[in-house]
A and B are shown apart, each in its own frame.
Chain A
Amino acid sequence: MAIRVVSAELMEIRSSDDVVLVRQAVRKKSIALGLGLVDQTKVVTASSELARNTLDYGGGGVARLELVENGTRSGLRITFEDQGPGIADLDLALTDGYTTGNGMGLGLSGAKRLSNEFEIWSKLGEGTRVSILRWK
């Protein structure tokens, strides 16, 4: 069934403080959705990894927080988008421990494991868009 967006909020990611703000906003929305503490922690942690990627690798961007539903259940979808250099090899980028920066290479793969649904789009020279969804 198609996903319907119930509400949406757009946040800028320009600094390390913004990463903290995104984390707090995601926490608020997951509580509003009625997620349990473990699920809240998972979605906030995944968002933190992706927000930091947007900042460190994408040179900043936006996060879109959406409460969604598909007829039978509701969920929280967070999409991170940047106009950065893009990712050359998505499979490689999703490999545990692979990094082009000085991180630990767990951001993408970890965020994927912590989410129910995960989508990534990237084009060299255009940017990257990563979307995670957690159903209630």
Chain B
Amino acid sequence: MERIPILKMGEFLLVTIQVDMHDRLALTLQDDLTSQIVKFRTHGVLIDISALEIVDSFIGRMLASIASMAHLLDAQTVVVGMQPAVAITLVELGLPMKGIRTALDVEKGMIALRSAILEAGQDGDTGSIR
């Protein structure tokens, strides 16, 4: 079965989405990722979408639900590598990407993750929904 690979990168998990997303693949990714978060006790997930040529409301919703699920499992999510044309289109589409942290690339994403994890720890709000 087709799967999106999840790599363990130091203390974080890295998901690189390179294929055209469809329903089954999205659901499998949610399953796989939540299991891996628990297995590796990670507090941070990076989702690299630099290979995605479009983000429609289906993919946007999937990214938002992955971030919420990860949050419930005490992990922060940062989406990295969005293409400029995708950003322009998303705003015009009217997709509320609220609650999703973004960074330009994986390196900046890791910095953003560290501060997000620190913040979450200080607030003592782990386990609650934003």
Contact = CB atoms under 8 A, between A and B. Distances in A.
A103 B54 contact: no
Nearest to B26: A16
Contact of A37 (B22, B55, B85): B85
A41 B24 CA distance: 23
B93 A110 contact: yes
B94 A48 contact: no
A38 B87 CA distance: 10
Given A110-B57, A114-B89, 20 more contacts: A19-B22, A20-B20, A23-B20, A24-B20, A40-B85, A41-B86, A42-B92, A44-B53, A44-B54, A45-B56, A48-B54, A48-B56, A49-B56, A52-B58, A104-B57, A104-B95, A106-B94, A106-B95, A109-B94, A113-B94
15 contacts: A19-B22, A23-B54, A41-B54, A41-B85, A42-B92, A45-B55, A45-B89, A48-B58, A52-B56, A52-B58, A104-B61, A106-B57, A106-B94, A110-B93, A113-B92
Interface of A: 16-17, 19-20, 23-24, 27, 37-38, 40-42, 44-45, 48-49, 52, 96, 103-104, 106-107, 109-110, 113-114
